[in-house]
Structures are given as C-alpha cells and as structure tokens.
Structure 1
C-alpha cells in the first residue's frame, strides 16, 4: 500500500514540476523531495531497529529524529553550494520539504493505525495537523538558519548545526510527549511553534535579501 501511494503521488507531481518555471519549480522539487525523504528515512529507521535491537518507540525519541531531520534538510545544501538570491525565503523551501515528508508519513501511519471502531475523522485531523506542522517547522528552522548566516559571515556551519540540533530536540520531544500522559502538550507544541514561525517569517528581517 505504501509503495502504491508513493508512486501514485510522485508521478502526478513530476508532470506538474516539468511545466513549472523558476522558483515555483524549485519549491515543488523541495516538496517532492519531502516524499522521497520519508521513504529513505523509513528504510534507515527500519535498518536501525534491526541493528540496534530496539523497539519503534525507543527509536522515535533517539535515532529517528536525527535521521528524519537530516534527510528532510539535505537539499537545503543547494543554497550553500550555489549562493545567490531568491524571492522566496529559504525557510519556505524547508517548510515545503517538511510538509511533503509529513504527507507520506501520514498515509502510512493512518492506514496502519485505522480501526473500524468509531469515526476516524477527529483522529485523522489531529494527526495530520500536528505531524504536518512539526515536520514543516523543524525543517523550516534550518532553512531560516541559511537566511541568518548572511548576517554572520563565516558562521554558516555553527548556526546550521545549532538549529539542526534544536530541530532534532523539538522533534524528539514531540515524539516523546505524543505517546505519554503529556499528549496535550505534544498537540499544542506544533500550533504554538507555527504561530511563532509566522511572526518571524512576516517580520522585515526575513522578507529581505536571501543571499548566503
């Protein structure tokens, strides 16, 4: 089922990407990468479960956040290797990759956890909103770090490493809380962080030049 969903999503997106131009094409490429990043992360996570002999819950608060945040953010390196200006803030490219990742993850998660008892609508909405926002925010943070590096010449890697570490920590905390008695905190975290992100991205500082 997962493979069918993946192929059925990627192929239509490929046709759309072909006809798009400029930064719109690039943004959709980042979104599509998010779908691919989930497939890569799933393979790596399953391999780690077998090698380390740990259960999926332990993996979700240890190695999985590192693997997933790295794979999602990987194409952001494009803006380091090929510096230049973009009309779209770098953070938005990270957000696009994170949302793409969350869509594919939700397909697999929802299909494997759905039961015939009661209406699944509330569960689907809750899962979709929280997962989408947490993945979008954490990868968007790394993209925002690229925007910030232009203000601190020579400090690209320390800033990116710091924000990557923060994104992994937030991701791990979300995974920890969502399966504990602090589930309400986990559901509020993405919404609060999303609102904070809106404030930051709408500020004048992020709307200016995106040159690294």
Structure 2
C-alpha cells in the first residue's frame, strides 16, 4: 500500500523505509511545504481501524508535541488520510541523521566512559518525558539514535503510555521488547517511569558487555529470567 513516492495529505512524500515494528512503519519523507526531510511513523492499517489505538496514537502525538528537549526527537505534525482506499494515520517527526545504537553495538561494546555519557544523556531525556507524565515503555538501542556529533536522541514513542491516557492501553497487552522488559511490564502491575529506568539499565549492561543480561529462545523465556533470575555480574 505504501511505497516510495506515496503522498500523504498532498504534503509529505515518502522516500525510503527506515524500519518497522508492531505499531507500524517509519519512513524518511520530504515535507514539500517547508522543504525539509522528516521521519514519518505510519500506524498499521489494523490499528488505524481500531478506534482505541487510533485515539491513543493521536493522544501520544499531542503529548509528545509539547515535549521540548535536545535528547528527544521533535514531533511536528499528526494527520490522517486515505491511501488506496484505506485510512492511514501518521506522525511526523524530526529526521535524525546518524546511526542507531544497536548498529553501533553490533561492532562491539562501548567503554565505561562512553556508556556513562550515553546513560546520563538518555536519563536526562527520560526525566523530561516523565515530568510530563509520559512513559516511553520501549527504551532499547534501536530507539536511541547517535547523532554525528555523538549526542543521543530518544526516538519512537509510538507505544508510549501517557499517564493521563492510561485507560487507552489494552489490558494484558505487553508492548515492550522482551530483552529490556521490566518485571512489572510482564505482570499486572501499574506501569510507572521506573520501567524506563530499568530498560536503560539493561541498555547500559549491553553497552558494557556487548550482550543482554538475559537471553532465551522465546520472549517468554527471557521475561521469566527478568522476573526470577539474578543479574549476571559485569566484567571487572
């Protein structure tokens, strides 16, 4: 349905797919009105047609548009349009030039100094989000962009949970990545900013060692270890 050259609301022209996940796809696009490159997150058709998810997506767009922090990707616009007979909901964000942390870690772990700098920057960005009642819920290397100057940008609040819109999250639906999932995300506990702090701790562990603290063949196995296993020690 979507492809390079697709136009959204006669303004944003998709140029290339950057990635995707359970909530939708992310595209690099050209804003033909302001003449700049942007990133666009397009909600999957199934979720667009679900009024609850569509409303939550819009609420998160409004919440993120109010958040101004150098470590958080800016949100510019939200819209809906029809493409090939289907309704499309999308979020327009700052296009961050750089490389995701997960690609960097594929080349090897970081040193302690670089890791602590990254943790400090991401922690500061998360604190700004938490101060506005926004919990990211999916902090992981793939959602951390390292700019050419070495600074970090936290991206993809697509599954973020705004405390003010908590009732919009489907009960029993786990929307985190298993390797970085705080124990309470896998239980009936309320989601608080602590889940982001836990995930950032896992990211720090991975940066220092080059691998996750808990691994398994299935997400269930990994989450079970988050719930019940002691944290493996770090190298000296």
Whether TM-score is above 0.5 comes out as no
Higher helix share goes to which structure? 1
Greater relative CO (CA pairs within 8 A, separation 6+): 1
Category of TM-score, reference length = shorter chain: 0.3 to 0.5
TM-score (norm 2): 0.33
TM-score (norm 1): 0.36
